[in-house]
Amino acid sequence: MYAYYTKLKEPEITPIKAGFLLLLCVVWLLTGLVGHDPWKPDEAYSFGLIYHIIQNHDWIVPTLAGEPYMDKPPLYYWTAAIFAKLFAPILPLHDGARLASGFYIALTMLFVGLSGRELFGENRGWPAAIALIGCLGMLVRAHEIITDNALLAGCAMMIYAYALSLRRPWLAGLLMGIGIGIGFLSKGFIAPILFVLISLALLSFREWRTRAFLTTVGIAIVCALPLLTVWPWLLFQHSPQLFVEWMWTLNIGRWLGFVKGGDYSDVFYYVKILPWLAWPALPLAAWAVWEARKRVWHQAEFQLLLVSFIVMLVTLSIVPDIKEVFALPMLLPIALLATASLSTLRRGAANALDWFGIMTFAMLAIALWWGWAGLLLNNNAKITHWLKDYQPGFEPDFYATPFWIAVTATVLWIVLVWRVGRSVRRSLINWAASVTLLWILLMTIWLPWLDTGKSYRHMVDDLKENLPKKYKCIAGVRIGDSQRAMLQYFGNLNPKRNASNVCDLLLVQGDRIAKPIEDEIGWAKMWEGGRKGDTKERFRLYRRVKE
């Protein structure tokens, strides 16, 4: 596929450079995977499902705080539970579970790199992985306990299999089938739908109407079938009602209801957020397409990446739930297209992107160090007052190990951007290194501040201290999924739904303005609290008044 690109002169990636790029990827990947509690909202409810598997060994039915939660298949939760148990002697369960995201993102980076090599030549593997980790949308989500990271790995395997299909169809079919299965068992029908649509769209091009590609697709279907059927069959055997809820209520029926409803107000949501989500890969990808505009629909590599991106964009834009995190698969073809631009990128444009990244991240790093020092020294700077107001319950303290890690990372970043050699890859490497520096600062010196506002640990501890020594049960009103999960994990509390008529305690989730329960006869408020950094979300505990 990459005959055109092999003609272009480009510095070779030596073993020493490859080792440095590997180190950069590893540091970016490992930073932030451990050291903090599950954060609201996605991490909290996801870990609640994982915690149920660890406690009850129920591998078939995803369960949250004692109730079935059939929104997604359980592959990611299985993986996270296994990681949590394996690392339980040295890590808290939630940190061990978060390593599952590291595992799936590592697979994603591997297959993106392999795709870059297969599509554009041997020197394009590392730049493809670097382009991906440099995308702003990857930074936080890749380090969270969310099933989307497993879907991303499955999609990366599929794209690599497509790229490999014209050369090694049997291996490509096997990898494609596994990728489809991983995506399905992580997020449901989206991965098989993408496979069908991308395959059909590629068949419209002469370059893909080959026996090798048809062989790949056939093998992929055969390999994917067991992964597409085993868990649904086990779920049906366990509970036909839950199977119907998952298959119809939460998937097919939900989508049909969305289509009939005709509310497409968010159909352009991803078009609006991709400029920052995929920055800086998106402008590089756009340049690659523009530079190759005369041959873009006649070369298999561009056909694959453009078709994949368009199919993902359209498909994900016409589903009931539209969120920023669901756009992650679109970053894969964008990062690979960005890799294609490196041989044709003008020196002036590359230097401009390079200096823009260095200056921007230098200013952000200075602001982070300045803000941290201001909190620690309690000066009267405006940024210090703003930070205190944003996290009103935060008490700053000095921790030596995170401080020296942050200092070391800052010094190494300065040396890197000062000494890195001039090449077409320089802007991508500097950008990825700068993103990594920012992430290290956030996950070291700023982690206590962030954890204060995103963790439910302190709130649950305070609630437990105010519970009476003896009570029958706790009823819950308007308590969200994330909150129920954290009440169970941190406090072993499981408020019962629709049980206010039988329980003697009542826990209500609301906002700063008290809900009508305070005015109801028969209940007396005995506690009120919330997360330190959240002044809007409040929890209130009531005790039944004896008549």
Half-sphere exposure of residue 430, counting CA atoms within 13 Å on the CB side? Answer: 27
Q: What is the mean pLDDT of residues 253-280?
A: 88
Banded pLDDT at 516 (limits 50, 70, 90): low
357 and 289 belong to one structural domain? no
Q: Tell me, yes or no, whether 302 and 423 share the same domain.
A: no
Per-residue model confidence (pLDDT) at position 196: 98
Query: Among 107-121, 168-182, 206-220, 343-357, whose mean pLDDT is lowest?
Result: 343-357
Residues in the chain: 547
250 and 266 assigned to the same domain: yes
Q: How far apart are CA 85 and CA 53, in angstroms?
A: 10
> What is the tens place of the pLDDT at every residue in 315-330?
999 988 899 999 999 9
More confident residue, 535 or 436: 436
pLDDT reported for residue 381: 82
Q: Are 400 and 253 in a shared domain?
A: no
Average the pLDDT over each of 195-199, 200-204, 251-255, 299-303 and give the range with the smallest value. Answer: 251-255
The reply to whether 422 and 509 lie within a common domain is no
Q: Identify the pLDDT of residue 13.
A: 78
Contacts 24+ apart (CB under 8 A), 96-100: 97/47, 97/50, 97/145, 98/33, 98/34, 98/43, 98/143, 98/144, 98/145, 99/33, 99/34, 100/76, 100/145, 100/149, 100/150
pLDDT digits (tens, 9 = 90+) for 79-127: 999 999 999 999 999 999 999 999 999 999 999 999 999 999 888 899 9
Q: Which of 24-28, 348-352, 444-448, 541-545 has the lowest mean pLDDT?
A: 348-352
Question: What's the number of domains the chain is made of?
Answer: 3
- Do residue 65 and residue 164 come from a single domain? yes
CB neighbour list of residue 201: distance below 8 Å, 6 or more residues apart: 307, 310, 311
Co-location of 213 and 253 in the same domain:
yes
Domain-ending residue, one of 290, 313, 343: 343
Taking alpha carbons only, the member of 341, 356, 328, 331 closest to residue 284 is 341
Same domain for 219 and 318: yes
Note the pLDDT of residue 259.
81
Q: Is the pLDDT of residue 8 over 50?
A: no
Tell me the per-residue pLDDT of 52-72, one tens digit each, with 9 for 90 and over. Answer: 999 999 999 999 988 999 999
Instruction: Give yes or no: residues 361 and 404 share one domain.
Output: yes
Q: What is the mean pLDDT of residues 474-503?
A: 91
Last residue of a domain, one of 393, 421, 454: 454
At residue 6 the predicted structure's pLDDT band, cuts being 50, 70 and 90, is very low
Mean pLDDT of the chain: 91
Give the domain range for residue 378: 347-454
Reduce the DSSP state of residue 474 to 3 states and report it.
strand
On the question of pLDDT at 287 being above 80, the answer is yes
Q: Taking the CB of residue 477, how many other CB atoms lie within 10 A of it? A: 18
Cα–Cα dist 252/485, whole Å = 27
241: confidence class by pLDDT, cuts 50, 70, 90? very high
Angle at 190 between CA 216 and CA 484, to 5 degrees: 140
How far CA 489 is from CA of 44, 55, 435, 437, in Å, comes to 10, 10, 32, 32
Q: Where is the domain boundary, 422, 454, 486?
A: 454
Q: Are residues 97 and 183 in the same domain?
A: yes
Residues 213, 243 share a domain: yes
Residue 246: DSSP 8-state: I
- Segment 517-527, tens digit of pLDDT: 655 678 888 99
Query: Based on the domain organization, do 330 and 433 belong to the same domain?
Result: no
